[in-house]
C-alpha cells in the first residue's frame, strides 16, 4: 500500500505556465491511490481548464465560480478540513504573498486559511521574482509557520532567462509529497544509512567487474524509510533510478569507496541497512591505461575486497548510536543455511535472505520473495511481493527493533 492510498490531497493550482505539469502531478497522485481535489485560481484558468484536472482525477475541480455557488459557505471549510495535505503547485509569487499575509480573496486562499493540514508549496516564477526580498520574506515567514517548500529549481525559464524559479518536475514533487505525508512517522528523528545496487571494481580506465544488482530494493527501502519519517543517507552505484526525494544520495563505485563512505557517516546513524550486492573480489592491480587487444589476452589477478559488514561488526563497540545492522543474503542454493551463517558471522540483527535462482524475483525485477531471519532465532517467510512492499515489511521490523 502506497502512503498516498486513500489520502485526501488538496491540490491548489495558480497562474503559471507550469500549470501543464500540475495536470501530470494530479494524475500521478491519483494513480498512487490519492483522492485529489483541485482548486484553480482565476489566473490558473487562463493556462489550463478544470476539465483537464477532472479528467485525470475523476473528481470535480473547483474554481472561483464555486465560491459564489449555493454551497459556497461550507465549501472551503469542507475542502480544508478533509484534506490530509494541501499542496500548491505551481505556487506563484502572488499566492505566496497572500498565504504569508493571511489574505483570503479567492477560493484557494480562503481554503488555505481554513485548512488544518500541513502545507506544501512548489514555487514557480520568473527569474528575479523568487530572489526579490519581498518574496524571500514571504518564504521565510511561511517556513517559520511550518510550510514545506519543494524547490524551486534553477534553470531556463519560460521567458528564456536563467535563474531560480522553475517548478520541480512532477516525479520530484510526488516524492516530496510522500515524504511530507510521512514526516511525523514512527522513524522521525532516526537516521538510517542504506546501501543499494552493485559495486564496480575497475580493471582498467574503461572496464569494470560488476553484477546484476539494479539497486531497486535499496531504493525502495530508502523511500519506505523516508515515508516512515526517517532521515536517510543512501549510497549506491551510478544508476538511472529516480533518487528518492529527501534522501542524501551519494554515488560510490568500489567496495573500498563504500566502506569509507559508510564508516564516515556511521557514528551519526541509528541503523545500517546493507542491501548492496558488493563484490567479494577486486582486481589486484588496476591497469593505468586501457588494455589493448594486440597485447594478447590479459591475465587478471583478483584479490579480496574489504567486507563492509565484517568491518562494521568489529567497530560496533565504538558506535554507541548504532542500534541496528541489517544485511541481505543473495543465494542461489542453501538459502537459509547460508543466510544464518552470515547473520552470525557479521553480527547482524536481521538478515533478509532472497533466492536469486528464481526467475520471477530477485535481481533486476520489480518483485522479491524473501525470508527474514532475526538474531533471536525467529524467522518470517514473506510471499512474492513488490520490492516496495518488501521494503515496508522490513522497515516495520526495523522500527520495532529500534524501539526495543
- The residue range among 100-108, 170-178, 300-308, 394-402 that interacts with ligand CTP, by the rule CB under 6 A, is 300-308
Closer residue to ligand CTP in complex, CB, 168/305: 305
CB burial string 295-327: b at 16+ within 10 A, e below: eeeeeeeeeebbebbeebbeeeeebeebbbbbb
- The residue range among 105-113, 222-230, 327-335, 359-367 that interacts with ligand CTP, by the rule CB under 6 A, is 327-335
The CB-of-195 to ligand CTP minimum distance in angstroms stands at 6
Closer residue to ligand CTP in complex, CB, 151/327: 327
Choose, by CB under 6 A, the member of 45, 64, 204, 307 that binds ligand CTP: 307
Closer residue to ligand CTP in complex, CB, 91/305: 305
CB contact at 8 A, 261 and 308: no
CA pair distance 104, 110, nearest whole angstrom: 5
Strand partners for 37: 10
Crossing angle of helices 216-227/387-402, nearest 10°? 50
Choose, by CB under 6 A, the member of 308, 322, 390, 391 that binds ligand CTP: 308
Binding mask 248-287 for ligand CTP (x = CB under 6 A): -------x------------------x-xxx-x-------
The CB-of-215 to ligand CTP minimum distance in angstroms stands at 12
The CB-of-229 to ligand CTP minimum distance in angstroms stands at 24
The CB-of-354 to ligand CTP minimum distance in angstroms stands at 9
Closer residue to ligand CTP in complex, CB, 124/353: 353
CB contact at 8 A, 367 and 388: no
Choose, by CB under 6 A, the member of 67, 342, 373, 392 that binds ligand CTP: 342
The CB-of-90 to ligand CTP minimum distance in angstroms stands at 41
CB contact at 8 A, 191 and 268: yes
Active site positions, annotated: 211
| CB half-sphere exposure, 95, CA atoms < 13 A | 32
Closer residue to ligand CTP in complex, CB, 29/274: 274
- The residue range among 156-164, 204-212, 301-309, 371-379 that interacts with ligand CTP, by the rule CB under 6 A, is 301-309
Closer residue to ligand CTP in complex, CB, 26/222: 222
- The residue whose grid cell reads 499542496 is 87
The CB-of-190 to ligand CTP minimum distance in angstroms stands at 20
Binding mask 204-223 for ligand CTP (x = CB under 6 A): --------------------
Closer residue to ligand CTP in complex, CB, 93/309: 309
The CB-of-177 to ligand CTP minimum distance in angstroms stands at 31
The CB-of-257 to ligand CTP minimum distance in angstroms stands at 12
Choose, by CB under 6 A, the member of 3, 9, 18, 309 that binds ligand CTP: 309
Regarding 168 and contact with ligand CTP (CB under 6 A), the answer is: no
CA pair distance 167, 197, nearest whole angstrom: 30
Regarding 330 and contact with ligand CTP (CB under 6 A), the answer is: yes
Closer residue to ligand CTP in complex, CB, 181/278: 278
Choose, by CB under 6 A, the member of 29, 35, 187, 305 that binds ligand CTP: 305
- Give the interface with ligand CTP as residue ranges (CB under 6 A): 255, 274, 276-278, 280, 305, 307-309, 327-330, 342
Amino acid at each position: 500500500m502506497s502512503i498516498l492510498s486513500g489520502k485526501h490531497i488538496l491540490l491548489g493550482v495558480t497562474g503559471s505556465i507550469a500549470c501543464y505539469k500540475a495536470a501530470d502531478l494530479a494524475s500521478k497522485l491519483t494513480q498512487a491511490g490519492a483522492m485529489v481535489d483541485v482548486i484553480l485560481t482565476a489566473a490558473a484558468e487562463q493556462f489550463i481548464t478544470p476539465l483537464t484536472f477532472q479528467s485525470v482525477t475523476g473528481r470535480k475541480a473547483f474554481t472561483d465560480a464555486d465560491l459564489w455557488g449555493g454551497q459556497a459557505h461550507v465549501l472551503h471549510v469542507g475542502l480544508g478540513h478533509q484534506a490530509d495535505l494541501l499542496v500548491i503547485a505551481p505556487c506563484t509569487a502572488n499566492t505566496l504573498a497572500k498565504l504569508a499575509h493571511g489574505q483570503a480573496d479567492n477560493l484557494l486562499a480562503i481554503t488555505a486559511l481554513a485548512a488544518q493540514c500541513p502545507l506544501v508549496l512548489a514555487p514557480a516564477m520568473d527569474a528575479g521574482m523568487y530572489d526579490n526580498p519581498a518574496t524571500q520574506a514571504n518564504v521565510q515567514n511561511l517556513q517559520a509557520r511550518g510550510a514545506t517548500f519543494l524547490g524551486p529549481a534553477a534553470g531556463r525559464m519560460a521567458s528564456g532567462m536563467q535563474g531560480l524559479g522553475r517548478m520541480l518536475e512532477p516525479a520530484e514533487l510526488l516524492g516530496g509529497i510522500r515524504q511530507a505525508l510521512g514526516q511525523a512517522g514512527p522513524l522521525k528523528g532516526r537516521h538510517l544509512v542504506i546501501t543499494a545496487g552493485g559495486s564496480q571494481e575497475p580493471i582498467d580506465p574503461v572496464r569494470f567487474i560488476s553484477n546484476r544488482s539494479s539497486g531497486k530494493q535499496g531504493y525502495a527501502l530508502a523511500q519506505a524509510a523516508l515515508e516512515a519519517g526517517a532521515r536517510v543517507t543512501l549510497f549506491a552505484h551510478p544508476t538511472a533510478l529516480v533518487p528518492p526525494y529527501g534522501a542524501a544520495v551519494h554515488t560510490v563505485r568500489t567496495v573500498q569507496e563504500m566502506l569509507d563512505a559508510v564508516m564516515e557517516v556511521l557514528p551519526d546513524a541509528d541503523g545500517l541497512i546493507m542491501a548492496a550486492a558488493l563484490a567479494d573480489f577486486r582486481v589486484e592491480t588496476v591497469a593505468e591505461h586501457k588494455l589493448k587487444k594486440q597485447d594478447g589476452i590479459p591475465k587478471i589477478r583478483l584479490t579480496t575486497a574489504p567486507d563492509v559488514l565484517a568491518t562494521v561488526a568489529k567497530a560496533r563497540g565504538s558506535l554507541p548510536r548504532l542500534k541496528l545492522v541489517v544485511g541481505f543474503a543473495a543465494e542461489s542454493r542453501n538459502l537459509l543455511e547460508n543466510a544464518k551463517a552470515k547473520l552470525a558471522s557479521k553480527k547482524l540483527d536481521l538478515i533478509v535472505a532472497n533466492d536469486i535462482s528464481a526467475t520471477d524475483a530477485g535481481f533486476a525485477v520489480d518483485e522479491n520473495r524473501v525470508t527474514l531471519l532475526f538474531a533471536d532465532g525467529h524467522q518470517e517467510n514473506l510471499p512474492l511481493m513488490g520490492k516496495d512492499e518488501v521494503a515496508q515489511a522490513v522497515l516495520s521490523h526495523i522500527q520495532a527493533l529500534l524501539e526495543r
